[in-house]
Amino acid sequence: MSIKTFNRRPIFLNTVIFITMLSLVLGLTGCDNDLVIAQDRTEAGTFYVSPDGSDDNPGSLEEPWATLRKATQEAIPGDTIIIHGGTYYEPLVPLRSGTEEAPITYQAYENETPLLDGQESILRLIEVRNLEYIVIDGLRVQHPRLNWAYLENSNHITLQNMQFMNPEYPTDTVRDFWGVRLRYSSSNKILNSTFDRWGRYENGDQEGNHIGINGNEEQGGYNLIEGNTFTYGAQGCIIVNAPYNIIRNNVFDNDWQKGIYVAWFTNPGDEPAGTEWPAIGNLIEHNQFIRSK
C-alpha cells in the first residue's frame, strides 16, 4: 500500500492514516485474527503439513509446514493441502474460497489420520465463514468448546470421511446445541463420516444434536447429508430447520433420543424478531434407524 503525503505533514499523522486504512480493510474483509495475505503464486500446487515441520519451510513433502494456520494463509484456488497424522491443537479456519473448477482441498495424508484436538478450550475446530468451494477430507475432530465444525454464509463446502468424536464422556462441558452447524449455508455436503456423542443426556430429552441446519429459502437449503453413521445424540442426531435438504443412506444408532428432527422455527433463539426457518421440501430417504426413540 502506498500513501502520498505532503512534505510538511507530521510523521505520526502518516502512521495514523495507515493504521486507520488497515483497520478499515480488516473490517471490510471480516477478518478477526488473520490478515488474508495476497499470494504472488498463480499456479496451484500440493503442499504438506506435519507436527514435525516448520512454518519457515516451503511446505514440500520433504520440508512441510507445521501449522494449519500457515496452510490456510498460503492456500489459493486449486491447491491441495496434505495433512500428516499427529495431533494439532489448533482449529482449521480457511481464509480463501476455491472455485467450482479449482476448489481448495485440505485432506489427510494417505493411511494417516490427523487429529484436531480442542482440549475443551478451542471454540470451533473447523470454521468456515463467507467462503465457497472448499473440501475437508479425512480428519478426526474432537473435544471442542462449542462446535466440531461451523459453517456460516458458506456454500459448496464438502466435509467427507471425517470423524467427529467426543470419546471422553460424560463431561461437564456445556457445548453449543449443534456439533456441526450449517447456518445460512447452501449446497454443502457431509459425506461418509462418523459422528459420536454430542450433548448431555440424563434420563430424558437433553440439549444437543450432531448436525443442525438453519436457514431460509434464500440461504440455507440444498445441503446433502449422505452415507454417515451417528451414535449418541442427546436430543437427536440431525435437526433440520431449513428447506430443501437431502438426508439419505445414513445409519442412526441412537438409543438416547431421536434420529432426525425436522421443524419450522419462528423467532428461534437469539435470532432477530421475525426470523423464520421454514423446514419445507426436505427429502429423507433410505436411512437405517437402530434403537432411535
**Tens digits of pLDDT across the chain (293 residues):** 333 333 333 333 343 334 344 444 343 334 444 555 546 788 999 999 999 999 999 999 999 999 999 999 999 999 999 999 999 999 999 999 999 999 999 999 999 999 999 998 999 999 999 999 999 999 999 999 889 999 999 999 999 999 998 866 656 666 667 789 999 999 999 999 999 877 766 654 566 778 999 999 899 999 999 999 988 776 677 889 999 999 999 999 877 777 788 887 777 777 788 788 889 999 999 999 887 76
C-alpha cell at 250: 445414513
Query: Which CATH number is associated with domain 41-290?
Result: 2.160.20.10
First to last CA, the chain: 60
Please give the pLDDT value at position 287.
Answer: 94
Cα distances from 277 to residues 36, 64, 214, 272, in angstroms, run: 33, 44, 6, 12
Look at residue 71 and give its three-state secondary structure: helix
Cα distances from 242 to residues 30, 122, 238, 246, 258, in angstroms, run: 25, 28, 12, 11, 18
Please give the pLDDT value at position 209.
Answer: 77
Please give the pLDDT value at position 121.
Answer: 92
Please give the pLDDT value at position 40.
Answer: 77
Cα distances from 181 to residues 98, 145, 169, 268, in angstroms, run: 21, 14, 21, 15
Please give the pLDDT value at position 56.
Answer: 98
6: Cβ–Cβ under 8 A, 6 or more apart, which residues? none
Q: What DSSP designation does 12 have?
A: H
Residue type, 214: N
Give the residue among 30, 196, 233, 42 at the shortest CA–CA distance from 128.
30
Return the H-helix or E-strand segment holding 17: helix 11-29
Cα distances from 6 to residues 11, 19, 56, in angstroms, run: 10, 18, 39
Please give the pLDDT value at position 283.
Answer: 97
